[in-house]
Amino acid sequence: MATDRIELTLDARTITGKQVKQLRHDGVVPAVIHDHGKDSVLVQGEYQTLYKTYLHAGKHHPIALKAGGKNYTALIKDIEFEPKKHRMTHVVFGAVNAREKVEAEVPLHAQYAEGNDVSPAERAGLLVISNVTTVIVEATPANLPDVLTYDAERLVEVGDHITVADLKVPEGVEVKTEPETTIATVYEPSAIAAANDALAGEAEAGEEPETDNGSPEDDQDQQAEEGKPGGKAGAPGAGE
C-alpha cells in the first residue's frame, strides 16, 4: 500500500514545440498534467527533482502535486527518455480522484527463503527468465501497492513457472493483467545458449542496413500537449 507521501511542486510552462529543447539544455524537464478531460496544464520542473520523484513514485504511487496555484493528486502516466543517454525528456502526469479507483503499473518482486537471494532453481545452476516485471492493477490511490510479490521458492526444476495468478494481492487491489500471464520460468542454461546461437545466425542472415528517419521528439511534444496517448517509460513515445 502506498503509505509514503510524495510531494512535488512544478512551475507553469509557456514554452512549447521545438523551443522545449532549450529547456532541456538548461536542465529543465517539460511536463504536462492531464485532468479528467479538461485542458492540459503545461508545467516544467528541475531535472534532478523530477527524476528523483520518478524513482520514488514510479508509475503507481500517488503524488501530491502543486502547479499553477492548484493542488492535484496525480500519477505519472508516461515518461520519455532520450535513448542514447537515457535522460528524462518529458513527463505526463494524470490527475486522479482520491476516492475513485484508478489503474496503475506496479513492479513485481520475487520473495526468497531467508538467507537466500535467488530461487532453488538458480541455486542448482538452472536459469530463471523473467517475462514481465510489472502488472496493471486497479485500486483507489491510497490502496495502490508499491510492489506485488511472488514466491520464488516455487521455481525448482526446468519448466516450473510463476504466473500473475500466483501473485500475493492485498485486499482492495484488483490485478487487471491476464492471470495466465507468465512472470518467470525455469530453463536449462544449455537450451537458452542454443536458442541464442540460432537467433544470432538468423539475424546475420537477414540483416538490413539501418536507416535514419529523424528524431520523433518534435511530434511527441505536440502530441502530449494535445492529450494524445504516448509511450512507456524507458522508450520513446510519451511526447509533450
> What are the residues facing 202 on neighbouring strands?
none
- Joined together, the cell numbers standing for residue 47 give 531535472
Cβ-proximal residues to 206 (8 Å cutoff; 6+ apart), any chain? none
The yes or no reply on domain 6-96 and CATH 3.20.190.10 is no
Q: Domain 103-197: which CATH class?
A: mainly beta
pLDDT tens-digit series, residues 179-225: 999 999 999 998 777 777 777 766 666 555 444 444 344 444 555 55
CA–CA dist 209, 137 (Å, integer): 41
Where in the chain are the domains? 6-96, 103-197
Among candidates 50, 55, 122, 56, which has minimal Cα distance to 89?
50
- Containing 49, the helix (H) or strand (E) segment is helix 47-57
CA 134 to chain centroid, in Å, comes to 8
pLDDT tens-digit series, residues 102-153: 999 999 999 999 999 999 999 999 999 999 999 999 999 999 999 999 999 9
pTM of the full structure: 0.73
